[in-house]
Amino acid sequence: MVKFFSPASIGNVGVGFDVLGLAISPIDGSFLGDSISIKASNKFQLINTGLFAHELPIDIKKNIVWKCWKHFCNMMGKKIPISIELEKNMPISSGLGSSACSIVSSTIAMKEFFNISLTQLELLIIMGKLEGEISGSIHYDNVAPCYLGGLQLIINEENNIHQSIPIFKEWIWIVAWPGIKLSTETSRSLLPLKYTKQVCIKHSQHLAGFIHATYTKQPNLAIQLMKDIIAEPYRIKIIPNFFNAKKILIELGALNCGISGSGPTLFAICNNMKSAKKIAQWLTKHYLQNQTGFVHICNVDILGTRKIG
């Protein structure tokens, strides 16, 4: 049997719409992500367990793990029956790379179980295609950090999909999922079809400056440039209490905060644990909408997908 775990990720990281992604792990040691177990079997079976298993499609052929198995069967030219357990501990449509967690853990587990030689690039291409079946377009800003860990910049040029970007070790990341769903399709539909030249120039300055600041070890400059002028202005109206929450979190010591991926998860950054705890307490009390929601104080997950068990 093989078993792999894939961590959650913050998409966009504010300034990098569709081109930045960050893998995260709760500091309390809990697993925020999905895991896949595979073992030999006389017939194919897919067992869904975990906190959010009930949110998965009833039709097995709509499950991304089944689609991943089918992809590998097509690669090998035959169907090999296996028993798969998906431990779904990531809420769907949360903005934390839920589909990427399932895709990446499945892809890596099947590669190892079937003993197929694939390069990192080939694996990323498979993951991107499978992600595209969920979202409607191929993108890597969740699968790349989920697979490789750390902060990833998506370049998506031939033979060069991503680059790892340095991140400030003193930054503490707090994520809060309010307990409600917000589909990527809905969130994307709010964005304008065209942006002005001025907005495009400003966005380029922010992103380029942020990347420069990470390499030159200027955390204050990086925070100053971490501005989302592409998505946040249009999405705040469907994310409950976001504008007010952002204002209060800054007052509590957050250096910055924003929307993770398509939302509704909110992320905040601070540089000391005292502020992190204050922020987490406020979010738990005021941002969560039901008992399903959660708040985690996190560090950057530098390991990405790994074998466990």
Q: Which domains does the chain have, with CATH numbers?
A: 2-166+303-307 (3.30.230.10), 172-298 (3.30.70.890)
Environment class of residue 153 by beta-carbon count within 10 Å: exposed (0-12), middle (13-18) or buried (19+)?
A: buried
Are 264 and 184 within 8 A, CB to CB? Answer: no
pLDDT band at 176 (very low <50, low <70, confident <90, very high): very high
DSSP SS3 for 16: coil
pLDDT at 232 over 80: yes
Q: Average pLDDT of 180-198?
A: 90
| The token pair that represents 108 in the structure block | 């890596």
DSSP string, 2-29: EEEEEE-EEESTTT-TTTEEEEEEETTS
Q: pLDDT tens digits, residue range 102-120?
A: 999 999 999 999 999 999 9
pLDDT at 157 over 90: no
Are 96 and 141 within 8 A, CB to CB? Answer: no
What are the CA-CA distances from residue 17 to residues 7, 14, 220, 250 (Å)? 20, 7, 21, 22
C-alpha closest to that of 246 among 213, 192, 282: 282
pLDDT at 136 over 80: no
Q: Which residue has the higher pLDDT, 94 or 133?
A: 94
Model pLDDT, residue 148: 98
C-alpha closest to that of 127 among 95, 161, 155, 79: 161
| The token pair that represents 102 in the structure block | 């399932």
> Any bridge partners for residue 24, and if so which?
300
| The token pair that represents 220 in the structure block | 């204050």
The average confidence (pLDDT) of the chain is 95
